[in-house]
Structure 1
Amino acid sequence: MKKLATSLFSLTLSLILIASYSVVFAQGTGKVTGKVTDKKTGEALIGATVLLQGISKGAATNVNGEYALTGIPAGTYEILVKYVGYQNKLISEVQVTNNAATSLNIILDEANTQQLQAVTVRATFKQESTNSLYAQQKNSSRISDGISADAIRRSPDRNTAEVLKRVSGASIQDNKFVVVRGLGDRYNVTTLNNSVMPSTEPDRKAFSFDVIPSTLVDNIVISKTATPDLPGDFAGGNVQVTTKDFPDTKVVTLQVGISGNTQTTFKDFKQGSVQKLDFLGGFSNGSRQLPATWQRLNYVDYLSATAAQQVAVTQRFQNSFGAKHQFKGYPGQNLQLTLGNTKIFKNDSKLGYVASLTYANNIERLKRDRNEFSFNEDAQPTFYYNDNVYNFTNTIGGIFNVSYSHKNSKYSLKNTYNNTFTNSYTERTGAFVEGGPVTLIQGSQTAPERGGIISSVLEGQHFLPASKINIDYNVSYGNSYRKQPDQRVLETFKQPGSNSFTVNLSNFNQAAIQNAGRIYTDLTEDIYGGKFNVSIPYTLFKQPSKLKAGYLGYYRDRDYTATVLGYAIAGGANGRNIPLTNGITADNIFSNSNLSQQGIALFTLPGYNISYKGTVSQNAGYLMTDSKLSDDLRVILGARVERYEQKINQPGSKLPEQKYLNTDILPSLNLTYALSKTSNLRLAGSQTVARPELRELANFQAYNFVYDYNITGNSNLERTKITNADIRYELFPSAGQIFSVSAFYKHFVNAIEQTNQGNQTFSYANAPNAYDFGAELEFRRKLDFMGSQALLKNMTFYANASYIRSEVNVQDGAPTRPLQGQSPYLINGGFLYVAPNNGLSVNLLYNKIGPRLNFVGLLGARDIYEKSRDVVDFQIGKRMMKNRGELKLNVSDIFAQPVRLYVNYGNTKRSYDQSTDKIFQATKPGRNISLQYVYNF
């Protein structure tokens, strides 16, 4: 299948070259492009005739309702639109300029059956643009929120994760995982170009949105209520990411930028071992991999070998501990090149492509403090440490999309690739303070990591004119990977009264990764999918309706290996402390000479070393009706059936194969009542599920250096069943403006949560029952209602806020607590100023989330929360060079407040109380400043 993916990429590049050579934009002429839709339903009208009055130019809409009128001399025109069964529409004041595309979306009203002759409705270009936007906003089939490419462009966001925090009811955790309506990432599902994406993480059910550059995204829509044609495994949101498709005009865009961080740039910076290809995505030459000698090793024989033989094998590992490079932090760089064009043929068919390549380098220094506390809230930390974290990150991404439409059919091939490499070096200082005199700690970690995604989707759409049946389908391949080839961990200790630090090494039976060791992990997951949908129109109560049915299936194949090695005294001798004196340092203690002199060797650590193969197969079908019961009432009713099977095998272990098989029937109902031409009332109810991830079920433990915790699986997890109810009022006072208020309720049975088990161990557990309810408010309004000044006319205020309450009933009589990952409130807001005459734009954005439960405390351990923080971002842009160029200055996270996790000792309260709560971890990020220049050739 990987060869197939390579072939698809090659085919795409070939089509791009063909399109590039065949397309010549008509000099001295312009074009008009857009989409024709039904005013009541928002459905595309296929085969509508679009005529340019005064000259013999015309076109028919394709399977998406899209049209294009080309080769038009500059001027002002009228456009006439005709479609059988609908009123004709004549649109005036349509301005066409040379070498540019005028975008005009058009809505048509059904003809009154009592009319004896055709009626032509008149509108201006400005009126029609406003009306079509109303129709698009009002006619969504479900409760959803989204963000467009234009809004993305006017924010300082570098990747999709940062973009998502602007969407109503959404926030971001750990800078990459989406939280919708205060629910953790596990309650969301992600699709990219209509194909389901696998989890990108080795130890959680989550999709890392920081792997998709924001500049490659056309739009993002988060569906918050279920319909039968959506995957049924979500409760927070179905996040649909769409990359760019047909461009309206020829596109050649170059974007260059530099960035800095107040805590990093021109400050002292350190790196561990570096390879030549790190700046191109960290593709290794093999030196970071396990040595071939170790891979061929018979470990039973190795344990019975002599100390000298064990040392000889260990000497095959490179000594890459410690800081190898020190320099002043340099500014980050980013570069993006985008090419695109569309060729329109005489028979109204068209071939279009868009290709984009993104490259970025960035370095960042973080300051992190960590404290561990006992169960007693009056106790001092049992240990604490302070980290200086130095991250080098390189990203290479691209999209290659080709689309062809002809009359009633359209075919698209969409490819997305992104590779992110991070080489992290951490220096640690701290102390053990419990149970006696203080023992000082010094430590380090070097962690190269490469992760990314590959996605290829081939899709088709067909309209059958005689029956007016719509058919769409796709086949897809996706690959996600996360590889950490050589994470190195070392901690040294200085006992009370000692003059030097020591490395504490035990015998091989008691070696601990926390003291000294190396970790090699490799996660690869392939997903093969396909879907098919058919939509059949019919009439009910003299209103247009449709019956829709479909199938979705996918197969996931995950392969995970972890090799965890600890340094210990060779030959089975007793452990001892090795002082860092007489030329022995933390950087060279594992050099070949010191390995021999000190008798040190590597050994596998029982319980950590694991490989497992997991598979997931899903087959789902659905049947639904989308009916207009009157001019104002729309009903979407149906059910989805999902058969879901998981298997986990651990080669080489004595554990039996783990099998999980469930079949779920998931009904849903969505009602939309049009209160007026500009407002809706929506009601929705559904049943959905949330299933455990393979890693959460697999019985093994992994070490997390950041938290200094072990993470274990739980093979007894059960899927979560969720009942959802929503109500929403929405008002569209004018084009691009909205006011909406929503309320929702969710009930969970067997909610899956990540838990703090105590003794520095995390795991997963089912909470028997939980509920979640809340309200959302969204507002977007131009400020021209406050006065006629140009400043107010060109300024828009927008805000969205959510209040959420959740409670988990742990057991009778025990205090309730919120769901893991749930925030009690979210706030997004901002001011946007765009001056149409001089190309100046200013955007000020604000984001805040309430304190959320990061880790659930079990077995006497305390809950750990994330403290709320204020995030303010700013962008100012100026168009220049006849609007072909734009210079943008971005300042992100202006306040740069620390990200704080705290141990909650009050049990029932959720906000941070300085008098009783203790800071578990605090990370200070620094302020980011970037300068970007975009030029359209």
Structure 2
Amino acid sequence: MKNNQTSAFKVGGLSLAIASILGASALPLSAVAQQSEDEVIEEVVATGTRLKGTATAVLQERQNQAFVADILGAEQISRTGDGDAAAALRRVTGLTLVDGKFIYVRGLGERYSSTQLNGMTVPSPDPTRSVVPLDLFPSSIIESLNVQKSYSPNMPGHFGGGNVNIRTKSIPSEFVFNVSAGGGWNTQNSDTGVFYSGGGDDWTGRDDGTRALPDIISSGLAANGSAGFEGDRTRTLAETQDILSSFNWDIGPDEKSVDPNFSLGTTIGNNYVFDNDSVLGFLATVSYSNEWTVAEEMLGNDIGGGQENPRFTKYRDMVSTEQNVRWSGMFNVGYEYNSNHKVELVNMILHDMRDRVRDGYYFDESESNPGVEEFRRMDIIFEEREMVSSQLKGTHNFLNLLDGVFFDWYVGTSRASREAPDIMEVTFQQFYDESGALELERLDDTPGTNLNRQYQVLYDESDTYGFNVSTAFFGDGYDVELKAGMDYYDKTRDGNNIDLAVRHFGISSDFKEGSRLNKIFSQENIYNDDFYTSSTGRSVFQDNTGAGDKYSAATKLTAGYFMVDAFFNQKFRVSGGARYEDFQQVSIPFVEHSDTFADDTDAIVDSIYSETDVLPSLAFTYIPSEEMQYRFNISQTLIRPDLRDISSTFFIDPLTEFLVRGSPSLVETELTNIDFRWEWYMSQGNNLSIALFYKDMENPIEMVQFDGGEGVPQLLTANGQEGELYGIEFEFLHDLGFIGDNFSNFFVSGNMTLSDSEVTIGSGDQESLFSQQAREAYGGTITATITNDKRRLVGHSEWVANLQLGWDSDNGEHSASIVYNSFGERIIAPGVRGFEDGIEKPFHSLDAVYTYYPDFNTTIKFRVQNIFNDEKEIEQEGLTLRKLSVGTGINASITYNF
């Protein structure tokens, strides 16, 4: 729909006009059916490119939105072969992917963006971040991804880089039934992988209890608040033996080849038209995948040696094997009456299991033991992430009220969880003979070395509801839409981490020899009194769980907004309004293994974070012709600290494996956002756009590294004084027919973002928020600690590039794309003690996708990922802080439509 020469509200009636602004998922079934007839080009012989033909609706939606947005449709995602929302979104202008899960929009970290599912806020199963890991959402359930980069009052006020709305597939316009199967292999998987004995149900993505906290410990915690003994009484030797005996020690490691990757999926749906002008429809989809990855990994930390001769005093060189099992299910049912009233229920479950074991060389300069040649360290993590969501939503057009009233509403409840039972880490010493052969291996004898086992759980539950109501007025030369609404969101979180240690010094030296834990901790050894260095054996087992490892938290948001969207003379569009938000958040730590608050009531009340804000927004669009428009947006938004940001408890960041803690006195970041974009929509889907953006930040929330002495580097979440971000974006899509007739079936598309940023930390100002938060965390000032108190934002890349070359055959049976993605250097760990910042190097991703349509029902797809075989690498002072080889992936799949 074009709004340039005819009224944006009169085309197709009020309901269709507003629905087109809201997005394709809001269209009534009858409109979807009509739209599908125009867009499903598999049913006709394609004379142009398949992508351009199916992307028309996406382009029209972007063109008709009042605010700057980028939209990625299902066919575009399929074209690049991306398997989940996270991988797909890195194709959007100005977006980069971090850790395979989180999206940075225009160089701002994941905390500066928000994610919605069908317009509703959902909880996160990640304990280290409040945003939802986007790799949870498989492409099979996605209809489109809407990235809104300029703020509008109907969006959450927590808005920095942008808002990502994942819109799932809705009720089909006709009968749909398909099955799919796929398989794959990675060049890294040709090497032997390292394995351990897991559970028998790992293929289902769930632990069968093999990794569960032993009953003797869990019952002791429940009854006494201690691990298997009462109160402060000295543990007896028999109790220690029973505790050690209860753990699973049969964990390898073993070496063997890995299985090939495979995936399965099916979708079925239909609609039924009744005589009373009503439609009932449903859609069900299920998918399953099991993937293996063998990788070489290097990890270094704790720089020493001074700036003239920097070196890592600790590093690891290892081989890792990771299994990922993902399965999902979605069931939608919808009812529409008279094309003006529609109700839809969307239910889904997303499950993601990651099982990783790493084994290899470990070096620690501080661990000096005569005769020790090398250290070997093995660690294991098994985690299950799951999201269950139910959403009920409705849209209603009351055409007889005023000039028409449109009303939509939603109610949703969601649960997200993460369970990580028996996270384990152990270190061995290795001794070699004169010929270089391994002579002896034993548990590390270095004082203070432990075998660590952790049991982590996280449960998030949320309820949300809201509505929007709008009406339009038409006059001579103007059309005006008035819109208002409210949103409510309530989330609770419960987390617990049980940290247990088997202390090596509590075991007699004669029993430490060996490389397999099931031999060292055999039943015979455990129940041998000589196994222990003390008569009670109490020194061998230690509970390191601390206050704050168990916590509860709650977030509540009530919001309302009003906005106006007006057209004048079909040339000018003005949209604006304001949003009011009342926000409250609190995190309450507990005494370990109990329901007793770690802080007194007054401290808890003082820790409640409460803010009320009014957030204005204004957008202006000039439309000189049907093909061209100019946009200008200005708004004020904010970024609030999440639950982890205000907690003083340390956690391990999964990307860097650094220790991170928050600041209880953290305050919100206030942003002023300015956007300008020129858009040119040419014939046959060709398009070009250029955008300028600027963001001014007060009290930006940043990660800062501190000199914590020996050990793993420590990061603090703190407020800087000020920051700014500015840049330019280019995006284009054009066929190559202008070169010659032989190129008419080729097209090229791409985008590039060039930007810069600066944040002022303010370490020299002892009255700044930053200095206050540093004193809270470390008990003193840190003026001389930070290397650069003015630098780029953490995670910001000065350039981001995407390029795609596509081809479609004349008969529509063949389709191919070559897709490139890369980003510029970005800061991961700010430097301290004069050392420069830790920088993630560019990763150059080149993929090729070929699709064959042998008949009307069958689709065969081949994909090669990371053709360059590039590696992920983080450097600091010319040293490799982290390196991960990901290999080249080769995948094939087949889908059959009945």
Query: What TM-score does the superposition give when structure 1 sets the normalisation length?
Result: 0.82
Q: Deviations over 1:817-867 (max 9, x none)?
A: 111111111000111111140511111000001011112235766521110
Distance 1:805 1:47, change over 3 A: closer
Question: Residue 570 of structure 2 corresponds to which residue in structure 1?
Answer: 631
**How many Å separate the matches in 2 of 1:198 and 1:637?**
29
| Residue 568 of structure 1, aligned match among 503, 507, 513 | 503
Question: Residue 14 of structure 1 corresponds to which residue in structure 2?
Answer: none
Q: Deviations over 1:78-135 (max 9, x none)?
A: x9x9xxxxxxxxxxxx9999997999xxxxxxxxxxxxxxxxxxxxxxx999997775
Q: Deviations over 1:715-752 (max 9, x none)?
A: 12111111100000000112322100001000111211
| Residue 343 of structure 1, aligned match among 256, 272, 278 | 272
Question: Residue 173 of structure 2 corresponds to which residue in structure 1?
Answer: 248
Distance 1:617 1:290, change over 3 A: farther
Amino acid aligned to 2:391:
V
| Residue 276 of structure 1, aligned match among 200, 212, 233 | 200
Amino acid aligned to 1:788:
D
Q: Residue 39 of structure 1: CA displacement?
A: 4.7
Question: Residue 528 of structure 1 corresponds to which residue in structure 2?
Answer: 463
Distance 1:766 1:129, change over 3 A: closer
Amino acid aligned to 2:306:
N
Distance 1:370 1:587, change over 3 A: farther
Q: Residue 224 of structure 1: CA displacement?
A: 0.1
Q: Deviations over 1:313-365 (max 9, x none)?
A: 42353233642554321211100101011212233321121110001111111
Gaps of 5+ in 1: 1-33, 50-60, 71-78, 82-93, 104-126, 906-916
Is the Cα–Cα contact under 8 Å of residues 750 and 766 in structure 1 kept in the other structure? yes
| Residue 591 of structure 1, aligned match among 522, 527, 540 | 522
Q: Name the % identity.
A: 25
Question: Residue 685 of structure 2 corresponds to which residue in structure 1?
Answer: 736
Give matches, 1:134-283, under 5 Å: 135-265=60-190, 267-283=191-207
Q: Is 1:888 matched up with 2:861?
A: yes
Is the Cα–Cα contact under 8 Å of residues 101 and 248 in structure 1 kept in the other structure? no
Question: Residue 391 of structure 1 corresponds to which residue in structure 2?
Answer: 322
Larger deviation: 450-459 or 493-502?
493-502
Q: Residue 503 of structure 1: CA displacement?
A: 2.6
Is the Cα–Cα contact under 8 Å of residues 25 and 169 in structure 2 kept in the other structure? no
Q: Is 1:643 matched up with 2:582?
A: yes
Is the Cα–Cα contact under 8 Å of residues 607 and 700 in structure 1 kept in the other structure? no
- The secondary structure found in structure 2 opposite 1:714 is coil
Q: Residue 495 of structure 1: CA displacement?
A: 8.1
Q: Residue 157 of structure 1: CA displacement?
A: 1.1
| Residue 350 of structure 2, aligned match among 418, 432, 448 | 418
Question: Residue 543 of structure 1 corresponds to which residue in structure 2?
Answer: 478
Question: Residue 21 of structure 2 corresponds to which residue in structure 1?
Answer: none
Larger deviation: 194-203 or 479-488?
194-203
**How many Å separate the matches in 2 of 1:96 and 1:766?**
49
**How many Å separate the matches in 1 of 2:391 and 2:579?**
23
Question: Residue 306 of structure 2 corresponds to which residue in structure 1?
Answer: 376
**How many Å separate the matches in 2 of 1:197 and 1:782?**
39
Is the Cα–Cα contact under 8 Å of residues 187 and 233 in structure 1 kept in the other structure? yes
Q: Is 1:869 matched up with 2:843?
A: yes
Is the Cα–Cα contact under 8 Å of residues 252 and 517 in structure 2 kept in the other structure? no
Is the Cα–Cα contact under 8 Å of residues 551 and 621 in structure 1 kept in the other structure? yes
Q: Is 1:442 matched up with 2:367?
A: no
Question: Residue 886 of structure 2 corresponds to which residue in structure 1?
Answer: 925
Give matches, 1:408-807, under 5 Å: 408-433=340-365, 440-467=374-401, 468-494=404-430, 500-504=440-444, 515-539=450-474, 542-568=477-503, 578=509, 585-597=516-528, 598-599=531-532, 601-607=540-546, 610-652=549-591, 653-655=597-599, 656-657=603-604, 658-703=607-652, 707-759=656-708, 760=712, 761-789=714-742, 792-807=743-758
Is the Cα–Cα contact under 8 Å of residues 758 and 861 in structure 1 kept in the other structure? no
Question: Residue 318 of structure 1 corresponds to which residue in structure 2?
Answer: 247
Amino acid aligned to 2:122:
M
Q: Residue 518 of structure 1: CA displacement?
A: 0.3
By relative contact order (CA 8 Å, sep 6+), the higher-ranking structure is 2
- The secondary structure found in structure 2 opposite 1:784 is coil
Question: Residue 115 of structure 1 corresponds to which residue in structure 2?
Answer: none
Is the Cα–Cα contact under 8 Å of residues 311 and 879 in structure 2 kept in the other structure? no
Question: Residue 301 of structure 1 corresponds to which residue in structure 2?
Answer: 230
**How many Å separate the matches in 2 of 1:590 and 1:661?**
51
Q: Deviations over 1:286-325 (max 9, x none)?
A: 6523424443243273653344134234235323364255
Distance 1:244 1:134, change over 3 A: closer
Is the Cα–Cα contact under 8 Å of residues 355 and 400 in structure 1 kept in the other structure? yes
Q: Residue 140 of structure 1: CA displacement?
A: 1.2
Give matches, 1:37-76, under 5 Å: 39-41=6-8, 45-46=12-13, 64=27, 67=30
Q: Residue 703 of structure 1: CA displacement?
A: 4.4
Question: Residue 57 of structure 1 corresponds to which residue in structure 2?
Answer: none
Amino acid aligned to 1:371:
G
Q: Deviations over 1:137-187 (max 9, x none)?
A: 421121011211111111221111111111111111001111111111111
Is the Cα–Cα contact under 8 Å of residues 549 and 623 in structure 1 kept in the other structure? yes
Gaps of 5+ in 2: 17-23, 47-51, 592-596, 765-787
**How many Å separate the matches in 1 of 2:108 and 2:174?**
41
Q: How many residues align?
A: 824
Distance 1:631 1:317, change over 3 A: same
Is the Cα–Cα contact under 8 Å of residues 432 and 440 in structure 1 kept in the other structure? no
Distance 1:66 1:416, change over 3 A: closer
Amino acid aligned to 2:341:
S
Q: Residue 879 of structure 1: CA displacement?
A: 0.5
Amino acid aligned to 2:726:
F
**How many Å separate the matches in 1 of 2:32 and 2:317?**
64
Q: Residue 631 of structure 1: CA displacement?
A: 1.6
**How many Å separate the matches in 2 of 1:502 and 1:563?**
27
Distance 1:551 1:439, change over 3 A: farther
Larger deviation: 656-665 or 288-297?
288-297
Distance 1:313 1:576, change over 3 A: closer
Distance 1:614 1:171, change over 3 A: same
**How many Å separate the matches in 2 of 1:375 and 1:670?**
54
- The secondary structure found in structure 2 opposite 1:230 is coil
Amino acid aligned to 1:900:
E
Q: Residue 606 of structure 1: CA displacement?
A: 4.9
Is the Cα–Cα contact under 8 Å of residues 486 and 559 in structure 2 kept in the other structure? yes
Give matches, 1:796-875, under 5 Å: 796-811=747-762, 816-857=790-831, 862-875=836-849
Is the Cα–Cα contact under 8 Å of residues 806 and 822 in structure 1 kept in the other structure? yes
Amino acid aligned to 2:408:
D
Distance 1:707 1:428, change over 3 A: farther
**How many Å separate the matches in 2 of 1:448 and 1:582?**
27
Amino acid aligned to 1:649:
I
Amino acid aligned to 1:492:
F
Q: Deviations over 1:364-414 (max 9, x none)?
A: 111111122227231332122112111111111011111111122100111
Is the Cα–Cα contact under 8 Å of residues 320 and 358 in structure 2 kept in the other structure? yes
**How many Å separate the matches in 2 of 1:536 and 1:445?**
60
Is the Cα–Cα contact under 8 Å of residues 290 and 520 in structure 1 kept in the other structure? no
Query: What TM-score does the superposition give when structure 2 sets the normalisation length?
Result: 0.86
